[in-house]
Structure 1
Amino acid sequence: MADVSSRDAHARLVRLLAQKRLVLGVNIGVMSRPGSPVFRRIETALPTGLGLFGVIGATVIGGVTLGALALTIGVAVWFLVILPRIKDQVYARSYAFVTSSPAAFAQAWEARAITLRAGAEECRPPDGDWIAFVRATPTREEEEEGGHR
């Protein structure tokens, strides 16, 4: 169970993220692999399988030329359409996961899957102290009052 300090820091983190005072960086490579709490196998397996069957089908029906064309189109669609969509979905699920509880945030932090950024300053695991970083970043209300913790 998270201690009071990390629960308070996590609540502040969620508030700062909502106010866009902090930016959550997500290592998509870490969060989109098996074992990650936000991994969805179907995101990569289905498009890859459909592409493979499409290329094989095009090759069988139209020969090597049509197969090569289908492969080229498939690769372009993968990099221009599918991969950006997967990245956005993994980021959204990661954001929801780390803001759900202090334990979830700690799990992602320990896996080195996330970073925090406030302007030019960045806090990275394992050396960065995310609690101190969050406490040092003023909320919108604190900035309007003219100071922060």
Structure 2
Amino acid sequence: MTELEALRGMIDRGEVQLGVHIRKMNTPGSPVYRQGENVWPLSLLLVASLLGIWLVHFYVGALILAAGTIYWVMKIQPRVKQGVFERSAALALENEANFDALWAKDALTLYAKLPDGTERAAARKHDWRAFVRGMPDSGF
């Protein structure tokens, strides 16, 4: 069993939590970035606001912009963040090369609360393989 397989098992059992740096992963050039869920909805909101200003009145455009922004922050952005997390986690846990690349990019973290109450965490400056090997019941 490899360290990545052991880590997958610990994540599935809820013993370890995988953290993803959403901002780093939700930028152009990232393998999980989707322009359609980031650029186009906000562009449409801006165009609708400008059309409201041009066709009706400044206050209508401002209202469209305010309501659209609130809707974006409350409804759409959490779905985008969840999607980025899920795609990043799937990519990272696919194979060791992907996990190593994302780990080196400082896009991943690991956290575990052990049964005795102690907490362990690992980020880029730590060795994730040593973190997995040091966990109880890791098989190593």
Which of 111, 114, 118 in structure 2 is aligned with 1:117?
Answer: 111
1:4 corresponding residue in structure 2 = none
Higher fraction of helix: 1
Task: Indicate conservation of the 8 Å contact 1:21/1:137, yes or no.
Answer: no
Task: Mark the runs of 5 or more structure 2 residues left unpaired by the alignment.
Answer: 114-118
Report the TM-score when normalising by structure 1. Answer: 0.85
Q: Structure 1 segments of 4 or more deviating over 4 A?
A: none
Which of 130, 133, 146 in structure 1 is aligned with 2:131?
Answer: 133
Task: Indicate conservation of the 8 Å contact 1:51/1:74, yes or no.
Answer: yes
Task: Indicate conservation of the 8 Å contact 1:38/1:90, yes or no.
Answer: yes
Report the TM-score when normalising by structure 2. Answer: 0.90
> Per-residue CA shift, 1:76-124, capped at 9, x if unaligned?
0121111111100000001100110000100100000010000232101
- 1:56 paired with 2:54, answer no
Q: Distance in 1 between matches of 2:62 and 2:31?
A: 37
Q: Distance in 2 between matches of 1:67 and 1:50?
A: 13
| Structure 2 SS opposite 1:68 | helix
1:15 corresponding residue in structure 2 = 9
> Per-residue CA shift, 1:41-82, capped at 9, x if unaligned?
111112111111111121122210101111110110121111
1:25 corresponding residue in structure 2 = 19
1:44 corresponding residue in structure 2 = 38
Q: Distance in 2 between matches of 1:21 and 1:135?
A: 13
Task: Mark the runs of 5 or more structure 1 residues left unpaired by the alignment.
Answer: 1-6, 143-147
Task: Indicate conservation of the 8 Å contact 1:59/1:65, yes or no.
Answer: yes
Identity %: 33
Number of equivalences: 135
